[in-house]
Structure 1
Amino acid sequence: MRWSDFVRSLEREVDWSATDYDGTQAPVVERILLEAAADREILQERTEQIAADDALFKSLAPHSNYPRILMDKFVIHMDAEDRFRVRLHRFKTRLQNGGAVEKVHSHKWDCSTVILSGAYRERQFEVLDLDEEERTCRVEPLREHVLSTGMANSMSTGLAHQVVNESDTEPCVTLFVRGRSRRPNARIYDTDAGTFYNTYGPDRQLKVGLLHMGRVDPNFH
């Protein structure tokens, strides 16, 4: 397999407009990811291509996040029609992240992942009694499982979850594909307080912070 074959499969074999991602498209995306994970040379091929091409590097760099406390994110492909994006993730060890644990959150897109090395525990939650105006809700445990090397997993838009790398010494590396945005925002949940807040893309989030700072109001996320 070549990198171009991997991308072509995501372009041609997946219906990114389908509304039932878990039931219809996730098995297809997971199969494509597992095929790529079995031929990791394509990842080296792609990352070397990006590093050697200044224009390509500059087009992808704003969408990546490194370094981060919990998870480093490297975007290595963006579909021309923005139907999907391909990323490499590194979930840091407890020694690397100082024992920090990510907040329960949901995404605005469907996604699938395959574990390339290491492992993590994923906890999924059901969000009940959500009040948009008061920003309150009740979050109840739904499912918990451990994903290790060679395993694939998918998640539909809006499902609340939390990922934890429980190892002190081994980072977890994943190949990840997200679909098109289906909602205007993601959400962060405070499970103890029974509240939530919305999060947006980097530009809009920056504007939110900027406007709050102009009012000398530090209460923003």
Structure 2
Amino acid sequence: MNILEQVIEPLRDVDWNDTEAVHATTQPVLGGLATDRRLLRTSVLAALGDEELLPLCEHYDILDKIVLFTDPSGIRVRLHVFQSGYFDRPHNHRWTYSSRILRGRYLHRLYGDAELDSSLHPGTLDAVQVREEIIGTSYTLSHKAIHAVVADPGAVSLVVRGPAVKDRFLVMDAATGDAWWQYGAAQESEEDSRKKKMSRDRLSEVIDSLVDWKVL
């Protein structure tokens, strides 16, 4: 059995619609991984040669997502590495997840409930909480919540996400007033999937940065 498979074992029985239960159960997992840098390093390096994990890793201009573990139940463990200029448009998620900050910081805006529809204008959203996520802080976000992040260059977070509970999520652009649906990999076009796929060379570059930053 993979060591990470043992680590996430307590998460298999969690009701991922119960945000408090998810938070209580994921915190020891995130805390253990954050402090066991040897395991974290081994897991990241393993992704380089893993024919299942590497295709799941994603590269965008301002964000890299490294998948450390994926489970048939839909649970995944990932590292998010934020690049210069990173900012989020307000959005929700297809799953509930927990995150812990390993390096840097980001400004996190949480918005109130809204009826999710592509006609929703982001200008109607009011932040009900604005918080600074710094090294060592963690949080759990329901798939029902809307949020946005502005991250420092080189910020790194460790993420445990649960099974997807819906096929799509809504993204809003405050600058243009537009809102649109984005879909999971099963419903993406080949072109969209290809554009975000991380190469082995890119993953090596990100790993080098993580080593230089002493994250690994």
Shorter-chain TM-score: what band? 0.7 to 0.9
Of residues 93, 96, 107, the one that matches 2:93 is: 107
Aligned to 1:160: 146
- Tell me whether 1:197 sits opposite 2:194 in the alignment: no
Of residues 3, 9, 14, the one that matches 2:7 is: 9
- Tell me whether 1:49 sits opposite 2:46 in the alignment: yes
Deviation at 1:195, TM superposition (A): 4.8
Distance change (3 Å), C-alpha of 1:178 and 1:72? same
Aligned to 2:32: 35
Does the aligned pair in 1 maintain the 2:170–2:179 contact within 8 Å? Answer: yes
Deviation at 1:196, TM superposition (A): 2.3
SS at match of 1:42: helix
Of residues 56, 67, 75, the one that matches 1:63 is: 56
Does the aligned pair in 2 maintain the 1:75–1:88 contact within 8 Å? Answer: yes
Report the Cα distance in structure 2 between the residues aligned to 1:177 and 1:13, rounded to whole angstroms: 10
Does the aligned pair in 1 maintain the 2:91–2:147 contact within 8 Å? Answer: yes
Question: What is the CA deviation profile of residues 157-206 of structure 1, one whole-angstrom value per residue up to 9, with x for unaligned ones?
Answer: 121111111x4xx5111111110011111110234665521100235232
Distance change (3 Å), C-alpha of 1:32 and 1:203? closer
Aligned to 1:180: 163
Does the aligned pair in 2 maintain the 1:34–1:152 contact within 8 Å? Answer: no
SS at match of 1:104: coil
Query: 1:173 corresponds to which letter in structure 2?
Result: V
Question: What is the CA deviation profile of residues 84-134 of structure 1, one whole-angstrom value per residue up to 9, with x for unaligned ones?
Answer: 1011110123xxx3xx53211110100011111111111111243x374x6
Does the aligned pair in 1 maintain the 2:97–2:141 contact within 8 Å? Answer: yes
Aligned to 1:119: 105
Does the aligned pair in 1 maintain the 2:16–2:163 contact within 8 Å? Answer: no
Does the aligned pair in 1 maintain the 2:100–2:138 contact within 8 Å? Answer: yes
Query: 1:15 corresponds to which letter in structure 2?
Result: D
Query: What is the TM-score normalised by the length of structure 1?
Result: 0.75
The answer to which structure has the higher strand fraction is 1
Distance change (3 Å), C-alpha of 1:206 and 1:9? same
Does the aligned pair in 1 maintain the 2:111–2:126 contact within 8 Å? Answer: yes
Does the aligned pair in 2 maintain the 1:15–1:25 contact within 8 Å? Answer: no
Of residues 125, 128, 136, the one that matches 2:120 is: 136
Query: 2:83 corresponds to which letter in structure 1?
Result: K
SS at match of 2:72: coil
Distance change (3 Å), C-alpha of 1:161 and 1:72? same
Greater Cα radius of gyration, structure 1 or 2 = 1
Distance change (3 Å), C-alpha of 1:48 and 1:136? closer
Report the Cα distance in structure 2 between the residues aligned to 1:172 and 1:126, rounded to whole angstroms: 26
Report the Cα distance in structure 2 between the residues aligned to 1:29 and 1:77, rounded to whole angstroms: 15
Query: What is the TM-score normalised by the length of structure 2?
Result: 0.77
Q: Higher relative contact order at CA 8 Å, sep ≥6: structure 1 or structure 2?
A: 2
Does the aligned pair in 1 maintain the 2:17–2:96 contact within 8 Å? Answer: no
For structure 2, the 5+ residue unaligned runs are: 193-216
Deviation at 1:62, TM superposition (A): 2.3
